[in-house]
Amino acid sequence: MSGTDGAARCGRDELMEVNAARALAGARNCFVGIGLPSTAANLARRTVNPDLVLVYESGTIGSRPTRLPLSIGDGELADTADAVVSVPEMFNYWLQGGRIDVGFLGAAQLDRFANINTTVVDRGPDRPEGRLPGAGGAPEIAANCGAVLIVLRHTRRNLVPALDFVTTVGHGAGPGDRAALGMRGAGPTAVITDLGVLRPDPDTAELVLSALHPGVTTEQAREATGWDLRVAPDLTVTQAPTDAELSALRALKAAGGRAS
């Protein structure tokens, strides 16, 4: 079955989810946010990385849920974990302790340096700020993991020229900013969307389009981005989801309360 056929058989969200899971190949462990990151991490355990250790901020280390948790505190996460620790211990000894390879985040607003806003959005001069859920674990996940993956839907509303509020620093204002802030790790190494994959330019740290999902055009991606999205010279097309990936994803979602 060809790649294009695979893409045709699945929706844009599934392309995003499958590619987000693939980004976890080779990681030993992953600090998992709820929603899309949890979908991706659980799919990774069923496909590219069966030994991936899932770490949830609710305190579970090594959870092996059989279905997608609706919340980070679903009982099965604790029941299937290697260890359950308190929330302060999770943040101090495990996350801040530098023991996590990959932090996996969602975002409401993302800028070209992979900084994240999940706090408030400006809705114009006549309306009050729109309230988002807030920071959660994100500022310290982004600061303390070996690398950060971000998954979100590719729209101009999400990928914005300037954040209304900086909740979480990705690459700050460019190269060197993480180090100047005393942040550990590589920071965001990939942003997986439903159109493709953005990666920071090694020289400028600006996110550039490095891959498109099958059937998506560069113009579509640029159109859905709030800044003038640069395209990597070696732009690739992501491999279409395999049957195994798609069936694992669908089984996971069918068993769960809700995908994201």
Partner 1 sequence: MADIRSLHDAVRDLVHDGDTVALEGFTHLIPFAAAHEIIRQGVTGLTLARMTPDVVHDQLIGAGAARKLVFSWGGNPGVGSLHRFRDAVENGWPHPLELDEHSHAGMANRYVAGASKLPFAVLRGYRGSGIPGRTDTVATVTCPFTGEQLAAVAALNPDVTVVHAQQADRHGNVQFWGLTGVQKEAVLAAGRVLVTVEEIVEGALEPRPGSVVLPGWVIDAVALVPGGAHPSYAAGYSVRDNDFYQRWDAVSRDRDTFLRWLDENVWNVRNVREGS
Binding site for partner 1 (CB under 8 A): 28-29, 34-35, 53, 57-62, 69-75, 77-79, 82-84, 86-88, 91-93, 95-99, 115, 119, 128-131, 133-140, 143-144, 165-169, 172, 177, 181-184, 257-258, 260
Q: Which is nearer to partner 1, 164 or 201 (CB)?
A: 164
DSSP state of 168: B
Buried b (16+ CB within 10 A) or exposed e, 67-84: ebbeebebeebbeebeeb
CB of 220 to partner 1, least distance (A): 27
Altogether, the residues listed in the chain come to a count of 260
Shortest distance, CB of residue 239 to partner 1, whole angstroms? 29
* Residue number, 250 or 258, with CB nearest to partner 1: 258
Q: Which helix (H) or strand (E) holds 164?
A: none
Q: Which of 14, 17, 57, 245 is catalytic?
A: 57
* Nearest-approach distance from CB 95 to partner 1, in angstroms: 7
HSE-CB at 150 with a 13 A cutoff on CA atoms is 34
The angle formed by the CA atoms of residues 23, 40 and 240, to the nearest 5 degrees, is: 65
| CA 14/CA 253 separation, integer angstroms | 11
Backbone angles phi, psi at 16, to 5 degrees: -65, -45
Q: Closest distance between partner 1 and the C-beta of residue 139, in Å?
A: 5
Q: Rank residues 120 and 235 by Cβ distance to partner 1 and give the closer one.
A: 120
Residue 105 or 221 having the CB closest to partner 1:
105
Judge whether 57 counts as a catalytic residue. Answer: yes
- Among all residues, which ones are annotated catalytic? 57
